[in-house]
């Protein structure tokens, strides 16, 4: 019997160009089942699970693994009746043949299920290890907790050359993105179809989708072109798909070289999202380089609170509160000083907007159309939005 098993295993493996070791113990188990009518033992099922895991570790596809087992079963089956009859020392009766067939194919089915279970579990372990490696790398890269040499070496599997320029895009919705979601598939395909094979690292961090993009060396420290900014919209749509939300916002950091540059761009992207939310900017994509002036304004919140209190504080005494007057001045500046356009944005009459602007001038002593007052008033209005005043009280030194 051993010679038959070895022959069938070798022929099956040769037919598929695979090692016969993949069938280790399987054909012998089928032979034992044919002779006794028993089911596969726990040890035999465990052996199949182990073989499935080993096949997964070598990169063999599961359909190919199932195929070689089915081929081996098909090659062994015609020889089993004669072999069993030889053991029993008499010809087999038709009912016995049926019983042997049922037992053998039941065992084959059990073996294939165990094989697939071992294969899938091994793949899950690989995915878990890769995900843990990704999370650790992303955390070290974005936090600066690891040395540069280690980061450069570990970046290779992710297609990143950390000595090259990079920029970071961070996307968020009102639902957290987590590492259990399928982060890379659709986004990677979109990026490759539109921009070619670029270095791209995606990860979930603090409930947001973080994407690190590699740029060609010639990009240096200059901001990416319009095509690269289009990537931010792909990131935003990916976050929306993952979280099943329609509203999203993306912050885009500036381009910087080296591992430290990735970390810097990431922080800029986070700050861009925060500023865009605080300012209620209409555009979904907020670029750090376009918000530099606002970053300057929020660096000293105490000074900003002093300015808001000094310039806009009197509006709190107005009938109806400060908010309507503040919105009016804000719309007027956003309209480039065009009263009619401001009225359209506010869904008010031109007369109402004019009245409100006059009221602001009376209460604050700052006239929006006066060149001397314009800068202080504009900065104060912007600061009020950044500090969420008048909904939140001002905190100043």
Cβ(197)–Cβ(214) under 8 Å?
no
Report which of 233, 214, 210 is spatially closest to residue 224, judged by C-alpha positions.
Answer: 214
CA distance 121 to 114: 10
Distances (CA, A) of 33 to 44, 80, 107: 11, 10, 7
Q: Report the half-sphere exposure of 129 (CA within 13 A, side-chain side).
A: 7
Q: What is the DSSP letter of 329?
A: H
Low-confidence residues of the chain, pLDDT below 50? 220-223
pTM over 0.85? The answer is: no
Look at residue 226 in the predicted model and tell me its pLDDT: 53
CA distance 26 to 47: 8
Helix/strand/coil percentages in the chain, nearest 5: 65, 10, 25
Report which of 284, 253, 257, 285 is spatially closest to residue 269, judged by C-alpha positions.
Answer: 253
CA distance 329 to 307: 16
Q: Which residue has the tokens 């907007």?
A: 353
Residues in the chain: 397
Q: What is the pLDDT of residues 6-64, one digit of tens each?
A: 888 899 888 888 888 889 899 999 989 998 989 999 999 999 999 999 999 888 899 99
CA distance 346 to 6: 85
Domains of the chain: 2-126 (no CATH), 150-294 (3.30.70), 300-386 (1.10.10.2840)
């Amino acid at each position: 019997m051993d010679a038959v098993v070895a022959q069938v295993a070798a022929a099956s493996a040769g037919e598929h160009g695979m090692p016969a070791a993949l069938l280790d113990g399987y054909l012998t188990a089928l032979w034992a089942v044919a002779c006794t009518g028993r089911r596969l033992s726990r040890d035999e099922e465990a052996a199949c699970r182990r073989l499935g895991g080993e096949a997964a570790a070598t990169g063999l596809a599961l359909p190919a693994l199932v195929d070689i087992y089915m081929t081996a079963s098909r090659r062994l089956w015609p020889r089993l009746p004669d072999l069993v009859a030889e053991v029993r020392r008499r010809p087999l009766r038709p009912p016995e043949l049926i019983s042997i067939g049922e037992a053998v194919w039941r065992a084959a089915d059990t073996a294939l299920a165990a094989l697939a279970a071992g294969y899938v579990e091994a793949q899950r372990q690989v995915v878990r290890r890769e995900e843990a490696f990704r999370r650790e790398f992303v955390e070290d890269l974005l936090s600066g907790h690891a040395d540069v040499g280690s980061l450069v070496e570990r970046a290779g599997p992710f297609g990143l050359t950390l000595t090259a320029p990079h920029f970071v895009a961070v996307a968020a919705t009102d639902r957290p993105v987590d590492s259990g979601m399928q982060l890379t598939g659709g986004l990677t395909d979109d990026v490759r179809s539109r921009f070619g094979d670029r270095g791209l690292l995606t990860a979930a961090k603090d409930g947001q989708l973080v994407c690190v993009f590699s740029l060609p060396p010639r990009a240096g420290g200059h901001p990416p072109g319009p095509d690269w900014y289009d990537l931010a919209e792909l990131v935003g749509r990916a976050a929306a798909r993952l979280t099943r939300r329609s509203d999203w916002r993306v912050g885009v950091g500036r381009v910087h070289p080296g591992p430290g540059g990735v970390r810097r761009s990431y922080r800029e992207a986070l700050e861009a999202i925060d500023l865009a939310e605080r300012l209620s900017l209409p555009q979904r994509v907020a670029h750090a380089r376009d918000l530099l002036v606002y970053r300057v304004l929020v660096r000293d919140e105490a000074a900003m609170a002093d300015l808001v209190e000094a310039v806009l504080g009197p509006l709190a005494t107005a009938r109806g509160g400060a908010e309507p007057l503040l919105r009016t001045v804000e719309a007027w500046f956003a309209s480039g000083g065009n009263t009619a356009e401001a009225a359209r944005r506010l869904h008010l009459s031109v007369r109402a907007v004019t009245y409100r602007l006059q009221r602001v001038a009376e209460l604050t002593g700052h006239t929006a159309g006066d060149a001397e007052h314009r800068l202080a008033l504009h900065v104060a209005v912007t600061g009020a939005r950044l500090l969420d005043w008048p909904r939140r009280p001002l905190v100043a030194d």
